[in-house]
Amino acid sequence: MLPVGHINLKAMKTTLLLLAAWLCGAAAFCQTSLSGKVVDAESGEPILFASVALYTNGALTAGTETDFDGNYSFSNVNPGTYEVEVSYVGYAKRRVDGVEVTAGKANSLDIEISSAGVVLQEVVVTDYKVPLVEQDNLTSGGMIITSDQIRNLPTRNIKSLAATTAGLSGRKKNKGREGKEISIRSSRSGATDYYIDGVRVRGEGGAATVSAARSGPTVLAGQLTAGEWSDLDNWATWTELLEEDFLPFAQIWELAPKNRYSVEVKNKKGAPVANCRARLKNSTGKILWSTLTDNNGRAELWSAEAAPPQAIELEYEGLKARIDQPRPYLEAINQSRLTAECQENQSADVFLVVDATSSMSDEIHYLKAELEDAMLRVERNLPGAELRTGALFYRDHQDDYLTRSSALSPILDSTLAFIHRQSAGGGGDGPEAVEVALKEALEKQDWNPQASARLIFLILDAPPHQTPEIRQSLQQSIQKAAEIGVRIIPVAGSGIDKSTEYLMKALAISTNGSYAFLTNHSGIGGGHIEPTAGPYDVLLLNDLMVKLILENVIMPPCSEEKSPEVPSADQLNPALLAQVKCFPNPATGPFYLRLEQDFDRVVIRNLEGKLIQEKEKLKKGDHEFNADNWAPGLYLLELHKGDEVAVEKLVVERTP
């Protein structure tokens, strides 16, 4: 017999266990749950929005997605044995069998997934020697100026940026975590987009909270901000100032595109002829420049000689034409008509070349998210088209590798998985192996000669080394890109200087591209220099990339009806176009025209020439339009003021 007051611990423990079991079973006092984290098997980084499925004897029981930190959770799970399957784009599915879920317990299971099951076609180059090849310099001399108007842009503040990048009007505003301002806009699909301090993060329909997207190494797309400037579209400014501030940089890089000759090739129905070979020749018959026309039937040709060229020779599928005594761009665009058939097939090769040295650490995780999102959206907006993507990440000559590449492929998942695996490292001395990356991208990829667009996005924050061999390699790459019709679009990151900016502009101009740049509006990464440009629109980088790709790929349909003639260069007024901002662009529904002055009218047409909408007497300010019922594609917005016309391109995007 136990003494009075003595506690029978064994009996008490049994009683408590029985009570706990009764409470858990009868009152759900103790939940049975299964939770864990999904991470990349190679890098250990969390995988966002991976699909996690719970099976019992092969039958689906429940499903969920990982959150911003890669975590998943199933609550109120019946005790038993389960199979857990994880899937994510670009990764091999991972299935874990025999997962025991114990009653009344918070069961835990962390899962690693790998992209090893996806064929990446990855090539790693660890050493490279620049060949010593003699080549004539293109031209000498060159500069451009920075417009003071940039400092007075209405979108310099990140909160006002939300209105230009997302087209928000009359938004609901709430205070999120840490006092961040959150704006909410519902889409047609019922999902909700959240804007934290003007930055969009993904929302699920009706969700009440948003996690900060910048808390970990894996982030959401739609955060980096960027702008774009086309020196080709503002050629008078470029040519007027070729002998001033940028002259030292033109001499350093031995690149200064100056003597420009433009040609436009169409068929008898007025539709553009893409991939027509155009050669600029001098009086002795020497080829000064050779390139292919783009999706608009346009080509830019360059001469390093002071004497005027003798002719532009055109060749397309056995058809030939010749333009004698071609006129320089500032005088006219040289035009030709061929009896070519209509080109209905649209296809694109998009190749990403990314600096992966340590100086990119502040932006590379964000860049990866933007690139993945942009590629997925482009694929969605080109149904039936052959889209091939690839990527190359590069470092410097002394690093553990020079380049890592995934070849151009119609399997987008291969490219996305390759991008996700990359990280920043190495470098350290400033200049990087840019010339190696460009040479390999141009010469080791199987570029489609029939594509309506062949694009290289060159994303970097440092220049190449400055040696005679490297300068020659860059010049060769420019001529190679022009020869095969590849358009280079540089994207400048934080930390570049004016010399590097000049080189990027020269690369873009010489290959019929434009210059893009990250801006400080996002607050991400180091400081970004003010671009050498006039007024520009601030966009989200993923939106800008989608816009640029679709603009370069989409071709006007060929019909018996006459397509609208876009005003020629001498009719367009760049200063007038600077008074117009169209946002969001791409658009999926409502969009806005912000006018800095009054206009007589706006005429909106599709590429077939069909009138979509017309509005007269537009006053200075914001004007709302709605593309809800418009077919996805490219639209031309003609803004008239007297005899002058400004033409803006609008991309209408497919919704998910």
- Strands 51-56 and 59-65, bridge-based pairing: antiparallel
Ranking 89-98, 189-198, 343-352 by mean pLDDT, the lowest is: 189-198
Neighbours of 126 (CB within 10 A): 11
Q: Above 60 in pLDDT, residue 20? A: no
Q: What is the C-alpha to C-alpha distance for residues 214 and 196, in angstroms, rounded to an integer?
A: 11
Q: Report d(CA 275, CA 467) in Å as an integer.
A: 34
DSSP 422-472: -------SS-B-HHHHHHHHHHSS---TT-SEEEEEEEESSPBP--HHHHH
Could you tell me the two tokens for 255?
């690149």
Rounded Cα–Cα distance for residues 455 and 588 (Å): 24
pLDDT category at 196 given cuts 50, 70, 90 is very low
Query: Between 398 and 58, whose confidence is greater?
Result: 398
Split at pLDDT 50, 70, 90, the class of 374 is very high
Q: What does 61-77 look like in DSSP terms, one character per residue?
A: EEEEE--TTSEEEE-SP
Residue 90 above 50 pLDDT?
yes
Each residue of 269-303: b (16+ CB within 10 Å) or e? ebbbbbbbbbbbbeeeeeebbbbbbbbbbbbbbbb
Which segment of 19-23, 116-120, 308-312 scores lowest on mean pLDDT? 19-23
Tokens of 403: 């380049």
Mean pLDDT of 2-16: 47
Cross-strand pairs, 644: 641
Look at residue 227 and tell me whether its pLDDT is greater than 60: yes
Residue 429 or 126, more confident: 429
Mean predicted lDDT score pLDDT of the chain: 79
pLDDT in tens, 231-258: 998 888 777 766 787 788 899 999 989 9
Kindly indicate whether the domain formed by 574-652 is annotated with CATH number 2.60.40.3080: yes
Query: What DSSP character marks residue 138?
Result: -
Determine the pLDDT at residue 16: 47
Contact 146, 533 (CB under 8 A): yes
Q: Which residues contact 44 (CB under 8 A, 6 or more apart)?
A: none
Percentage above 90 pLDDT, the chain: 52
User: Which fold is adopted by the domain 258-338?
Assistant: Immunoglobulin-like (2.60.40)
Question: pLDDT at residue 63 above 90?
Answer: no
What DSSP character marks residue 564? Answer: P
* pLDDT of 534: 84
Q: Are 142 and 249 in contact (CB under 8 A)?
A: yes
Asked if residue 203 has pLDDT above 60, the reply is no
> What pLDDT is attached to residue 170?
26
Measure the CA–CA gap between 624 and 478, rounded to whole angstroms. Answer: 42
Q: How far is 242 from 594, CA to CA, in rounded Å?
A: 32
Q: Which of 121-125, 419-423, 506-510, 598-602 has the lowest mean pLDDT?
A: 121-125
Rounded to 10°, the helix 364-381/541-553 angle is: 40
pLDDT value at 458 more than 70: yes
Q: How far apart are CA 266 and CA 303, in angstroms?
A: 24
* Tokens 């205070």 sit on residue: 175
Rounded CA-CA distance 430/225 in Å is 24
Give kind and range of the element (H or E) at residue 599. Answer: strand 599-606
- Which segments of 137-292 does DSSP mark as H helices, in order? 158-166, 235-240, 247-253
Residue 146, pLDDT > 90, answer: no
Give CA–CA dist 504/514, Å, rounded. Answer: 9
Q: Residue 405 pLDDT > 90, yes or no?
A: yes
The rounded distance, in Å, linking the Cα atoms of 437 and 435 is 5
Rounded CA Rg of the chain: 29
End-to-end Cα separation, the chain, in angstroms: 75
Q: CA dihedral defined by 366, 512, 471, 352, rounded to 10 degrees?
A: 30
Torsion of CA 92, 98, 99, 101, to 10 degrees: 160
Nearest by Cα to 162 from 125, 195, 191:
195
The pLDDT tens digits for 582-616 are 989 999 999 999 999 999 999 999 887 889 999 99
- Burial bucket for residue 482 (CB in 10 Å: 0-12, 13-18, 19+): buried
| Domains in the chain: boundaries | 31-113, 170-209, 223-234+347-553, 258-338, 574-652
- The DSSP secondary structure of 204-268, one letter per residue, reads -TT------TTSSSS--SS--EEEEE-SGGGHHHHHHTTTSTTHHHHHHHT----EEEEEEEEET
**Could you tell me the pTM of the whole model?**
0.70
DSSP 20: H
> What is the average per-residue pLDDT within 280-305?
96
Our CA dihedral for 396, 401, 402, 405, rounded to 10 degrees, sits at: -140
Query: Hey, how many other C-beta atoms are within 10 angstroms of the C-beta on 440?
Result: 21
Q: Name the DSSP class of 178.
A: G
Tell me which fold the domain 31-113 belongs to: Immunoglobulin-like (2.60.40)
Is the pLDDT confidence value at 224 over 90? yes
Per residue in 253-271, pLDDT (tens digit) is 999 899 999 999 999 888 8
Poorest-confidence range of 51-60, 169-178, 564-573, 629-638? 169-178
pLDDT tens profile 542-570 = 999 999 999 999 988 776 555 455 555 55
d(Cα 309, Cα 301) in Å, to the nearest integer? 11
Please, are residues 578 and 534 in contact by the beta-carbon 8 Å criterion?
yes
Whether the predicted pLDDT of 104 surpasses 50: yes
Residue 426 has a pLDDT of: 84
- pLDDT tens string 424-436: 888 777 899 999 9
Q: Which residue has the tokens 């001469």?
A: 303
Note if the bond before 463 is cis, omega within 30 degrees: no
> What are the start-end ranges of the E strands in 285-361?
287-292, 298-303, 311-316, 319-324, 334-338, 347-355
What's the CATH code, domain 223-234+347-553?
Answer: 3.40.50.410
Q: Is 599 in contact with 582 (CB distance < 8 Å)?
A: no
Residue 213 pLDDT exceeds 50: no
Classify residue 134 by its DSSP letter. Answer: -
CA atoms within 13 A on the CB side of 147: 15
Same fold, 31-113 and 258-338: yes
d(CA 588, CA 593): 15
* 109 contacts 96 by C-beta, under 8 angstroms: yes
With beta carbons less than 8 A apart as the criterion, state whether 65 and 72 touch. yes
